[in-house]
Amino acid sequence: MQIDPLSDILSLLRPRSYISSGLEAGGDWSLQFDPQEGLIKCYAVTRGECLLLVDGCDAPTHLEEGDCFVLPSGRRFWMGNNREVAAVAARDLLPAVRDGGMVRINRGDRFQIVGSRFAVGGAHAADMLGALPPIVHVSRAAEQAVLRSSVEMMMQEMRNSRPGGHLVSQHLAHIMLVQALRHYLDSTSATGPGWFGALADPHLSRVMAALHNDTARRWSLQDLAAEAGMSRSAFASHFKERVGSTPIEYLTRLRMLHAIDRLEHSEDTVSVIALDLGYESESAFSTAFKRLHGVSPRQYGRLATAAAAE
pLDDT digits (tens, 9 = 90+) for 127-158: 777 778 888 888 877 666 777 777 777 767 76
pLDDT score for 157: 72
pLDDT score for 178: 82
Tell me: the pLDDT tens digits for 224-264?
999 999 999 999 999 999 998 999 999 999 999 999 989 98
Question: Hey, what amino acid is at 166?
Answer: H
Long-range contacts of 258-261 (CB under 8 A, 24+ apart): 258/12, 258/215, 259/285, 259/289, 259/297, 260/122, 260/123, 260/124, 260/293, 260/300, 261/12, 261/14, 261/122, 261/124
**pTM (predicted TM-score):** 0.79
d(CA 185, CA 230): 22
> 226-235, 284-293, 300-309: lowest mean pLDDT where?
300-309
Asked whether residue 191 carries a pLDDT value surpassing 80, the answer given is no
> Mean pLDDT throughout 195-204?
88
pLDDT score for 274: 96
pLDDT score for 96: 56
Tell me: the pLDDT tens digits for 62-116?
999 988 888 988 889 999 999 999 998 988 876 555 666 788 899 889 999 988 8
> 15-24, 68-77, 203-212, 290-299: lowest mean pLDDT where?
15-24
pLDDT score for 290: 94
Residue 215 — pLDDT band, cuts 50, 70, 90?
Answer: very high
Q: Which residue has the higher pLDDT, 25 or 99?
A: 25
pLDDT score for 56: 86
Q: Which residue has the higher pLDDT, 271 or 200?
A: 271
pLDDT score for 278: 94
pLDDT score for 17: 61
Q: Do the beta carbons of residue 158 and residue 169 sit within 8 Å?
A: yes
pLDDT score for 99: 62
Residue 42 — pLDDT band, cuts 50, 70, 90?
Answer: confident
d(CA 9, CA 254): 9
Which DSSP state fits 98?
P
Provide the mean pLDDT of the chain: 85
> Mean pLDDT throughout 170-177?
76
pLDDT score for 306: 72
Q: Which residue has the higher pLDDT, 150 or 266?
A: 266
Q: Which residue has the higher pLDDT, 262 or 165?
A: 262
pLDDT score for 225: 97
d(CA 147, CA 44): 9
Share of the chain above pLDDT 70, in %: 89
